[in-house]
Amino acid sequence: MNGNGSRRIALLVEYQGTAYGGSQYQKNAPTVQGALERALGTLTGEPIRVAMAGRTDAGVHARGQVAAFPTESQRRIDVFVRGTNAHLPEDIAVHAAASVPAEFDPRRHARRRLYRYSLDLGSERPALYREVVWRVGPSLDLAAMAAAARHLEGSHDFAAFTAPSEARRRRTERVVHGTALVRRGKAASFDIEANAFLPHMVRRIMGTLVEVGRGKLTPEAFERLVREATPGEASRTAPARGLCLIKVRYESGLFDDETDEDLQPFG
């Protein structure tokens, strides 16, 4: 807090992204950022502009999105949780709040991001969880997929897993700290944690891994995609609905006490 009474607050946010055009503000679609700013504006009586840790696509969900904003409000931290939730739609919820330094940027200061992609392996389509899984059926070779996924780990050029236009305009090297593919009955989840991700990178990785699981691509061919890094070559893109931003990690340990036991860092 500085001399004029302003402060910066960080929020831990969960949302189901089905009804939104993405996490960050757009002119022609509802967004998570827009809903948060309206709720916070109502709570504080101020015009609020929120910065977010990760840009999630339309239909992508989050359990651990981090948002931050400046405010003159001197409300207690717990009031920012309860008060903001009172003004949010039911598919967005704030789970924790914390005071952070004025210079805190939830995107630039993030060290790692953990995403989880959920697959339905049942022989019949799901009803209850249809908006948060990709139904792929029971015949996937998960062992082959896990073997292929291990080639992602470490520092690589991931140009193959983003659009060629994106590969031309930005650096495409990223560090993947770990991957995990776990089956739970008729469901499976794929976790990937990295320092940062390219647009559509996780969905292209998942789409390509499913091709491996269906026997249309070998783990060795998947490794070649990683090694040769031809922009856009891994074009099979998994649906947005199965993807969830699970955790954003910071040097300060911000919100680490909110982490579930199954969300421990790789490495």
pLDDT digits (tens, 9 = 90+) for 232-244: 999 999 999 999 9
Structure tokens at 87: 């003004």
**Quick check: is 257 in a domain?**
no
Q: Which helix (H) or strand (E) holds 82?
A: helix 77-86
Are 33 and 130 in a shared domain? no
Distance CA 135, CA 119 (A): 6
- What percent of the chain has pLDDT above 90? 92
Question: Nearest to residue 200, comparing CAs of 169, 160, 168, 140?
Answer: 160
Structure tokens at 145: 């997929």
In the chain, the number of structural domains is 2
Are 141 and 73 in a shared domain? no
pLDDT level of residue 262 (50, 70, 90 thresholds): low
Domain span at residue 137 reads 110-249
Question: Nearest to residue 84, comparing CAs of 126, 42, 119?
Answer: 42
111-142 b/e (C-beta count within 10 Å ≥ 16 → b): ebbbbbbbbbbeeeeeeeeeebbbbbeeebeb
pLDDT at 2: 43
Amino acid at 94: V
pLDDT digits (tens, 9 = 90+) for 75-132: 999 999 999 999 999 999 999 999 999 999 999 999 999 999 999 999 999 999 999 9
Are 75 and 103 in a shared domain? yes
**Quick check: is 263 in a domain?**
no
The rounded mean pLDDT for the chain is: 95
Are 55 and 151 in a shared domain? no
Enumerate the active-site residues: 57
267 or 253: which leads in pLDDT:
253
